[in-house]
Structure 1
Amino acid sequence: METKRVYNPLLDERILLPLRISKIVSLDPGATETIFMLGLGHLVKATDAFSYRPPEAKALPKIGSYTHVNYEMLDQISPDVILTSYGAQKNLVKKLIEEGYAVYPLPVPYSLNSILDNVILISNVLNAQHLAMNLQRKLVSIISQYTCFLRKSVKVYVEFDLGGPITIGYPTHVTHALHILGVRNVFDNYYDAYFEPDYDVLRRSDPDIVIYEPKRLTENEKVRFIDSIKKRNLDFLLDKKIVFSSGDFLAHLGPSFITLGLPWLASVLS
């Protein structure tokens, strides 16, 4: 079997892989979506439980999550490469490598540029460089359409339900998207990516628009969020424009954040 070595910037090593990749296990939703958008979804044999974009990925066997994997299934598939992220999956990556699997971890995107960079990294593993250039051209074109799209001084507060209220700081793809559109995240001077909001700072920031992303959007969830605003003594937010996104929409770190998330943000912030 012909092989190749592909450099991985996170491991700072050249990963030994088959020259032609025919069996992929993807444990990262963004990577799974990228492979399908490259037109190579038929190579994916199993994914993590959270890879449901596109619909074809949802139908694939689910082999694990961010922190564990079914080794019996993994042995049966005998993948050429396992794609992961390197945030919450760092320990899983180490264990998979110790077990002798070829693992290619990807950086967790913190900007739209990072999403584009991961397209390059994935395509390099899969010998899909020309396909990636076409996809990147499409994504860059969309970003260009929305650069300074709003051109107005709007302050935005973003909140996710991640088992409790979590907001975003400077190094996130959502903050970068807001900046590209021409508006500002009220916590964009914070060094951390995700954290519990400081309500005193939020009051002083006085955002114009609130974006809330629940785990799953329902009418009951909208009511629950309004109630939580009152319970947290943030009633002033009720006078602002409040926008609800569907679950795992803005939090998603794949290319569809650019194709769908960026246009959605432009529409609700206009």
Structure 2
Amino acid sequence: MCIANSGQVNSSDPNTIEYDNIVSTFHASIAKEKDGSFKVWGQVSDSNGTGDLLVPTLIAPVNGFNYTGTALRATGGSNSNSGHQFALLTTDGLYMWGTKNYLVSNTIKDNTAFGKISVNGKADGLPTGVTPSDVKMMFGSYGTLAIVTCTGEAWVLSFNGSKNGDGTTENTGTMWKRVKTSATENLNNVVAMRGTPNALFALTSDAKLYTWGTNTYVNNGGASSRTYATEVTKPAGVTPKMIGMTQTAGSSANLQSYYLLATNGKLYAMGDNGYPPEFSSVS
């Protein structure tokens, strides 16, 4: 089921929970209102992509965000406090603003000001065969914009890490990549996707978990880099409700941690950040 642009959804079903009513980068946030509009505030969040907004400000033409259509999704990406880049999806297509080369490659968006982008010649900035109304979820992290469609497809536009998910390792970030489980099989039935600057994590409608990218874990030992989506073993007897992911900084840079909120109300974690390479309950 694809979630309508209807604000908060009160649901306990993993297939219909709406993520991202509030999203944050290092020093900025975007919030979705009940009426479906979005407000942004924080570092370089002004429509010129360089000024700071000190109070939540409506993302709308009246405030310099000169888009057409109806706002559907919003996200951002950053890598410490040195830069933030934001994306807004409307029924007309993708718009971006903020520090260049932080969410998408500067070959796609070569200035900071709010404006529409195209990707590989497609005017709405989305993958071939995907329209704005097809997008169920849009997620951003440093160097990566990712979307889940209403039909369960996972697509990645990335210039950092091995996050393409289609077996390729090039990271020019100029083309959308359809995530696959092998050279011949697509990753299907995706309902949620989370990630870090170097890896991604997905939940499917049949309660399966997948990961791919740099230094990933699959619940059976140490970290490994994976160019295809690889199934993660769930804790025994657990049904996933929501997923999350973080990445370690410092001496253990680029190691991933995974978080799983189960329908039994328990939170499980796996990976770096002091947790073992297998899922265990967090107390």
Bin of the TM-score, shorter chain as denominator length: under 0.3
TM-score normalised by length of structure 1: 0.28
Higher helix proportion, which one?
A: 1
RCO greater where, 1 or 2, for CA within 8 Å and sep 6 or more? 1
TM-score normalised by length of structure 2: 0.27
Please tell me whether Structure 1 or Structure 2 has the larger radius of gyration of its CA atoms: 1
